[in-house]
């Protein structure tokens, strides 16, 4: 299938099926100025949520769509943005995991239906996508992409089968609830003259609203609103949404309240530290993770070094709890993408050394504790340990601010297959420790994590795996650190 993109105007074509995405959405209705520059800046603040493609869709009734591969300020350059008129629009940044990362799957998705245009921007993952798609195909539906987002939009169109300008917030919400509950969707619909925004009834992904002097805006994270003259910010609850038009906005419940499953990884890794996600500040959460990890896993050492950026706040917490001085022993090159969200394994390895540089004068002859937000495949951690040893560190003790990742994610976060996860490759922690070539290794415990966030209302699935017992067995056998069995 040839590339669908001509000068950034994208007509979607097929590729392999997408199942997981970690993305960011931003939309709004302005009072008098064009909305495009606000969407550009809002998406720029969400760049950490997706670096493969960016897109915008603006129009009061008709629709102008522009999207392409690349970072926000490359795709949505000032030259493009300044040409876009209209006061209503939505935008998207995307990171894909499976099936390539071509322009085809950039969002927002837009279709013509009964002479009107409707578009959608989605953060999350609908795990029933494959079955639903097969069913729709059997009924004669044609798909131009393989993403769950297109399937979701087509399902809404099929169920409502009337002019998009006559759709109501409640009708769209009902279709979503009846067909996609169990999936993760913080999603924006552009229908003529309006934006409908929804957060799924289990609330996996964040979504928040801002009323400002410039207009009404909606975003994956409230850090985007820092560019605005804010009047107030509201965090949309699970099963709630908002309808926005030039006449104002209305927050509405479209599905009953039920026990939520907020993604704890938003706090551990994904969201920006200056965001407030699920009623908690992300930076403060990460400091707590580090403190708890230090209390559970002390070690004789000279300094603590963070793996920037998401390891910084936990390292600070570790330092505060342990009394070890915090040093920037690893400098980060800010112009290299985050390693966890680069699609190719090999690229990930190479990028560690492009991204992190040890400061010899800081680590030489020191017993170093190095703190990262998590350990996924272990290859990045091993490169970091090697970097520190090459720079003269006497000992390297690795600490993870999250418990072991033992399961993949079905709700939109790019976690590799269970087989690829380093914690599944070894029965005991000492096996992982040896793989990453550290002198010691310790994770925050599940109990510690739950003491910080609470027992209920959170999704911990990737950390629990199929069986929580596995964690305890390993902990007992390995005693986390210097158990003689591991020596
Ligand atoms: S499985 Fe993990 S990454 Fe996925 S939603 Fe749950 S906590 Fe988040």
| pLDDT band at 485; cut points 50, 70, 90 | very low
Q: Return the pLDDT at 132.
A: 84
| pLDDT band at 60; cut points 50, 70, 90 | confident
| pLDDT band at 148; cut points 50, 70, 90 | confident
CA-nearest residue for atom 2, ligand 1, is 462
Exposure string for 443-480, b = 16+ CB within 10 A, e = fewer: bbbbebbbeebeeeebbbbbbbbeeeebbeebbeebeb
Query: How far away, in angstroms, is 291 Cα from ligand 1 center?
Result: 22
pLDDT of residue 11 exceeding 70, the answer is no
pLDDT-wise least confident of 75-89, 121-135, 460-474 = 460-474
Query: How far away, in angstroms, is 100 Cα from ligand 1 center?
Result: 22
pLDDT of residue 182 exceeding 50, the answer is yes
Q: Return the pLDDT at 346.
A: 59
Cβ atoms of residues 288 and 295 within 8 Å: no
> Do the first three CATH levels of 5-260 and 282-486 match, i.e. the same topology?
no
Tokens of 304: 């603590």
Indicate the helix (H) or strand (E) that contains 234: strand 230-235
pLDDT of residue 460 exceeding 60, the answer is yes
To the nearest whole percent, how much of the chain has pLDDT over 70?
A: 86
To the nearest whole percent, how much of the chain has pLDDT over 90?
A: 71
Q: Return the pLDDT at 321.
A: 98
Look at the domain 282-486 and name its fold.
Rossmann fold (3.40.50)
User: For the whole model, what pTM was predicted?
Assistant: 0.88
Indicate the helix (H) or strand (E) that contains 88: strand 88-94
Q: What is the atom index within ligand 1 of the atom nearest the CA of 405?
A: 2
Write out pLDDT tens, residues 216-270.
999 999 999 998 999 999 999 999 999 999 999 999 999 998 899 999 999 999 9
pLDDT of residue 356 exceeding 50, the answer is yes
Q: What is the atom index within ligand 1 of the atom nearest the CA of 408?
A: 1
Q: What distance lies between CA 363 and its chain's CA centroid?
A: 32
Mean pLDDT, residues 401-409 taken together: 94
> Which residue from 477, 478, 431, 440 is spatially nearest to 300, judged by alpha carbons?
440
CA-nearest residue for atom 5, ligand 1, is 263
pLDDT of residue 368 exceeding 50, the answer is yes
| pLDDT band at 174; cut points 50, 70, 90 | very high
Q: What angle do CA 171, 243, 166 make, to 5 degrees?
A: 45
Query: How far away, in angstroms, is 180 Cα from ligand 1 center?
Result: 17
Query: How far away, in angstroms, is 204 Cα from ligand 1 center?
Result: 8
Mean pLDDT, residues 47-73 taken together: 91
Q: Return the pLDDT at 459.
A: 96
Between 122 and 344, where is the model more confident? 122
In sequence order, what are the beta bridge partners of 384? none
Among 260, 374, 409, 421, the mutation site with the greatest number of ligand 1 atoms within 8 A of its Cβ is 409
Cβ atoms of residues 423 and 375 within 8 Å: yes
Q: Which residues line ligand 1 (CB under 6 A)?
A: 204, 263-265, 409, 411, 413, 459-462
Look at the domain 5-260 and name its fold.
3.60.20
Domain ranges of the chain: 5-260, 282-486
**35 φ, ψ (degrees, to nearest 5):** -85, -20
Mean pLDDT, residues 292-311 taken together: 96
User: Could you give the CA distance from residue 13 to residue 104 in angstroms, rounded to a whole number?
Assistant: 6
**81 φ, ψ (degrees, to nearest 5):** -60, -40
Q: Return the pLDDT at 371.
A: 98
Q: What is the DSSP letter of 35?
A: S
Cβ atoms of residues 189 and 130 within 8 Å: no
pLDDT-wise least confident of 49-53, 130-134, 277-281, 428-432 = 130-134
Q: What angle do CA 146, 149, 153 make, to 5 degrees?
A: 110
| pLDDT band at 4; cut points 50, 70, 90 | very low
Write out pLDDT tens, residues 304-319.
999 998 899 999 999 9
Is 23 noted as a catalytic residue in this protein?
A: yes
| pLDDT band at 354; cut points 50, 70, 90 | confident
Q: What is the atom index within ligand 1 of the atom nearest the CA of 461?
A: 1
Mean pLDDT over the full length of the chain: 87
């Amino acid at each position: 299938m040839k590339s669908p993109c001509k000068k950034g105007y994208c007509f979607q074509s097929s590729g392999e099926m997408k199942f997981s995405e970690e993305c960011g959405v931003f939309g709004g209705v302005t009072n008098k100025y064009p909305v495009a520059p606000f969407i550009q800046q809002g998406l720029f603040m969400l760049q950490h949520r997706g670096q493969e493609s960016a897109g915008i869709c603006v129009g009061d009734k008709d629709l102008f769509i522009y999207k392409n591969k690349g970072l926000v300020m490359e795709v949505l350059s000032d030259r493009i943005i300044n040409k876009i008129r209209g006061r209503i629009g939505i935008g998207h940044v995307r990171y894909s995991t499976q099936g390539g990362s071509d322009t085809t799957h950039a969002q927002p998705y837009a279709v013509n239906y009964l002479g009107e245009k409707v578009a959608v921007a989605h953060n999350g993952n609908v795990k029933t996508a494959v079955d639903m798609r097969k069913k729709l195909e059997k009924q004669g539906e044609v798909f131009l992409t393989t993403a769950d987002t297109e399937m979701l939009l087509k399902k809404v169109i099929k169920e409502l089968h009337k002019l998009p300008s006559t759709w109501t917030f409640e009708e769209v919400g009902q279709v979503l609830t009846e067909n996609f509950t169990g999936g993760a969707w913080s999603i924006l619909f552009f229908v003529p003259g309006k934006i409908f925004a929804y957060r799924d009834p289990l609330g996996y992904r964040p979504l928040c609203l801002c009323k400002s002097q410039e207009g009404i805006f909606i975003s994956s994270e409230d850090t985007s609103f820092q560019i605005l003259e804010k009047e107030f910010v509201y965090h949309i609850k699970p099963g709630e949404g908002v309808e926005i038009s030039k006449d104002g906005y209305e927050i509405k419940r479209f599905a009953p309240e039920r026990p939520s499953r907020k993604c704890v990884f938003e706090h551990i890794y994904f969201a920006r530290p200056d965001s407030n996600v699920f009623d908690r500040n992300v930076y403060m959460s990460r400091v707590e993770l580090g403190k708890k990890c230090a209390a559970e896993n002390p070690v004789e050492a000279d300094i603590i070094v963070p793996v920037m950026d998401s390891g910084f706040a936990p390292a600070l917490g570790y330092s505060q709890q342990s009394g070890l001085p915090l040093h920037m022993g690893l400098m980060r090159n800010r112009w290299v993408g985050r390693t966890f969200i680069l699609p190719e394994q090999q690229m990930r390895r190479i990028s560690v050394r492009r991204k992190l540089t040890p400061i010899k004068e800081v680590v030489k002859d020191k017993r170093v504790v190095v703190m990262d937000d998590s350990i996924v495949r272990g290859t990045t951690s091993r490169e970091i340990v090697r970097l520190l040893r090459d720079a003269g560190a006497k000992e390297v003790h690795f600490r993870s601010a999250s418990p072991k990742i033992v399961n993949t994610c079905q709700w939109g976060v790019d976690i590799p297959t269970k087989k690829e996860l380093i914690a599944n490759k070894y029965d005991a922690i000492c096996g992982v420790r040896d793989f990453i070539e550290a002198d010691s290794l310790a994770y925050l415990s599940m109990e510690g994590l739950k003491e910080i966030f609470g027992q209920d209302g959170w999704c911990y699935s990737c950390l629990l795996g199929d069986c929580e017992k596995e964690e305890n067995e390993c902990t007992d056998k390995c005693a986390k650190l210097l158990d003689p069995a591991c020596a």
